[in-house]
Amino acid sequence: MIGRLANALSLVAVLAVPALGQTGPQLPLPAPTPYRASSGRPGHAYWQQRLDYRITATLDTATHELRGRELIRYTNNSPDALSYLWMFLEQNICSRSGITEKLDQPPLMFLGSTFDFSCKEFDGGVTLEHVRIGGQELRPAIYGTTMRIDLPRPLASGRMLDLDIAWRFTVPPYGAGRMGRDGSLYQIAQWYPRLAVYDDVRGWNHDPYIGAGEFYLEYGSFDVSLTLPSNYTVAATGTLRNPELVLTPEQRSRLAGARSATEPVPIITSVEAGKVGTPARTATWRFTADSVRDFAFAAGSQLRWDASAYGKVLIHTLYRPSAPEWEEANRMVRDALQYFSEQWYPYPYSHITSVEGPIEGMEYPMLTFDPRAPSREERQWVLAHELGHQWMPMIVGSNERLYPWMDEGFNTFIDLAGAARYFAGTAYGDSIEVHPLHLYQDHAIPGEEQPLITRPVEVKDLFWTGYQKPALMMQTCAMRCWEGSASMPRSAPTYGHGPINIQRRPISSVSCAMHRGWIWTGTGEIGCSPRPGSIRRWTLSAGLRTAKRFFCRTGAPCCCRSKWISHTGTARESESGCRWRCGIRDPNSRFGSDRPRKSVVS
């Protein structure tokens, strides 16, 4: 569907005048090293650590206690000897006696709503039963949601060690908005002690989890065995390895049929939901995954389950009988999976599973938690948005704790085009892609607007700064962008921390821009400009603030001018034609004046 987006945008990109050779300010860049070029690209000696987790855990659905033991193999591929390790104990965000509880965090506003990153008075936290290396008991230092383990002896470069940790915690009903339980449904994430990232940029990335920032984790493998009452159905990151022990012959037969189905096949029907298995017995579900940076799961005893396929990828949607609207969810996820795979990069994992429940929208490898959502538009948006995170950050591995705009912004950009495709021919579908532009005037307030790179714990308007502003930036880039440019580099770019690099597509504005370094190190200006000179400056770096607010008269022609300055000082400018008008729906245009919808949160 890139042609659709490109064609639509070409309607307005009638004045695309590159101005190569102009000079702009030189931006300070770090000196190159063997590990990383000054542009940020990996160098010839680039390295990543590796983690291999083997976890066994049991969920007691009577007490809501999750108890587990994990063996972690940590491989030090860095050139440094490590005398200590940093780990995360994210469940400690729910500890009323922890340091996180003592922080006086300002509320995080998101499109008029306040994010609640607390556990709503629930007093939880993780209890460590033992932490061992080579049979030796260790006494880690715990700081809220982080933990430092001083090693008996430094871990030399190229060597590995095995950690043995046993732990337990009570699953909170509301786990800071990112995990929790509701009745017999459990949506479990941030649940096992895991290593922080050690990288060549910052060393240990042990910025604490205090709610607002999401995650930055090492890649590796998982082998996870989960024991629950046998009337529970479990969905998880990874491939189910023992279906013969946990699924009925009927379910296995239906799943086999779903592998060639483009329409959803009921695996557990509405009549069967809640009538599978017996609570008096337990069953152990075993999943394995490779090249992922996290593992999450959901379990419920009352779930419906639909499945279909896109190529070799199974699409699972699980939902409670109280959410019959989710009968369309499987089609929505499949459509977005196809679109993102064909547009950006083929989905590399064996399945994608979306589970309806109390979490308003969270993404984990191969698994998303999504709300019931009251309308088709919101349901499609949240399902596609959380799916879109499989590409960013799950595949590219960006640092969400520090840079939410990288995953949320790119993701919003691709979601807008995905929603326009799914709802094509409707008022919503034909106007959704202009929503970031309409948001611009309300959110880009001089003196208050923050740079894209603002950390989540400091951001005042995450909806704009982390989601819509970067999406609008990429839309303007796509308008004129380097489409068909003879100077486009032919080599594939490398982006991110992940094991899979998103390859440059022939006409891919984002990867094109990323490859050229124009987004990462440049500055840009955009104006919805009824008169010359009324332009706005993108605030990409901390030193750049909005210079001027643009006021657009209703009905005035609305043009977009963009200017990008690379780290070498080269500038490019473009200006769109005036094919839409401020604040007015043009029945002949795909751009309208609908107000933006409140959409997904994370």
Residue 398 beta carbon to Zn ion: minimum distance, rounded to whole angstroms: 12
Residue 541 beta carbon to Zn ion: minimum distance, rounded to whole angstroms: 23
Residue 362 beta carbon to Zn ion: minimum distance, rounded to whole angstroms: 8
Whether 331 contacts 492, CB under 8 Å: no
Task: Tell me whether residue 399 or residue 602 sits nearer to Zn ion (CB atom).
Answer: 602
Task: Tell me whether residue 86 or residue 403 sits nearer to Zn ion (CB atom).
Answer: 403
Task: Tell me whether residue 90 or residue 408 sits nearer to Zn ion (CB atom).
Answer: 408
Tokens of 72: 């972690």
Residue 100 beta carbon to Zn ion: minimum distance, rounded to whole angstroms: 22
Helix (H) or strand (E) holding 480: helix 469-480
**CB neighbour list of residue 446: distance below 8 Å, 6 or more residues apart:** 545, 546, 547, 548, 549
Give me the residues paired with residue 175 across strands. Answer: 179
Whether 90 contacts 190, CB under 8 Å: yes
Give me the residues paired with residue 161 across strands. Answer: 74
Residue 600 beta carbon to Zn ion: minimum distance, rounded to whole angstroms: 6
In whole angstroms, how large is the CA radius of gyration of the chain?
A: 24
Task: Tell me whether residue 122 or residue 340 sits nearer to Zn ion (CB atom).
Answer: 340
Coil, strand or helix: which one is 565?
strand
Residue 387 beta carbon to Zn ion: minimum distance, rounded to whole angstroms: 10
CA distance 241 to 580: 54
Tokens of 89: 């104990």
Residue 366 beta carbon to Zn ion: minimum distance, rounded to whole angstroms: 16
Residue 25 beta carbon to Zn ion: minimum distance, rounded to whole angstroms: 32
Residue 466 beta carbon to Zn ion: minimum distance, rounded to whole angstroms: 9
Where does residue 41 rank: exposed (0-12), middle (13-18), buried (19+ CB within 10 A)? middle
Q: What's the residue count for the chain?
A: 602
Helix (H) or strand (E) holding 228: strand 220-229
Q: What are phi and psi of 594, to 5 degrees?
A: -60, 140
Task: Tell me whether residue 431 or residue 602 sits nearer to Zn ion (CB atom).
Answer: 602
Task: Tell me whether residue 155 or residue 416 sits nearer to Zn ion (CB atom).
Answer: 416
Longest CA–CA separation in the chain, Å: 74
CA distance 31 to 28: 9
Task: Tell me whether residue 264 or residue 409 sits nearer to Zn ion (CB atom).
Answer: 409
CA torsion through residues 357, 358, 359, 364, sign: negative
Where does residue 593 rank: exposed (0-12), middle (13-18), buried (19+ CB within 10 A)? middle
The residues that touch Zn ion, with contacts defined as CB under 5 A, are 408, 602
Task: Tell me whether residue 467 or residue 550 sits nearer to Zn ion (CB atom).
Answer: 467
CA distance 438 to 528: 10
Residue 404 beta carbon to Zn ion: minimum distance, rounded to whole angstroms: 8
Task: Tell me whether residue 185 or residue 406 sits nearer to Zn ion (CB atom).
Answer: 406
Task: Give 17's DSSP letter.
Answer: -
Say how far residue 122 (Cα) sits from the centre of its chain.
27
Task: Tell me whether residue 177 or residue 277 sits nearer to Zn ion (CB atom).
Answer: 177
Task: Tell me whether residue 246 or residue 396 sits nearer to Zn ion (CB atom).
Answer: 396
Residue 34 beta carbon to Zn ion: minimum distance, rounded to whole angstroms: 34
Residue 407 beta carbon to Zn ion: minimum distance, rounded to whole angstroms: 7
CA distance 110 to 113: 5
CA distance 47 to 490: 24
CA distance 93 to 5: 42
Task: Tell me whether residue 60 or residue 360 sits nearer to Zn ion (CB atom).
Answer: 360
CA distance 20 to 25: 15
Tokens of 120: 């709503």
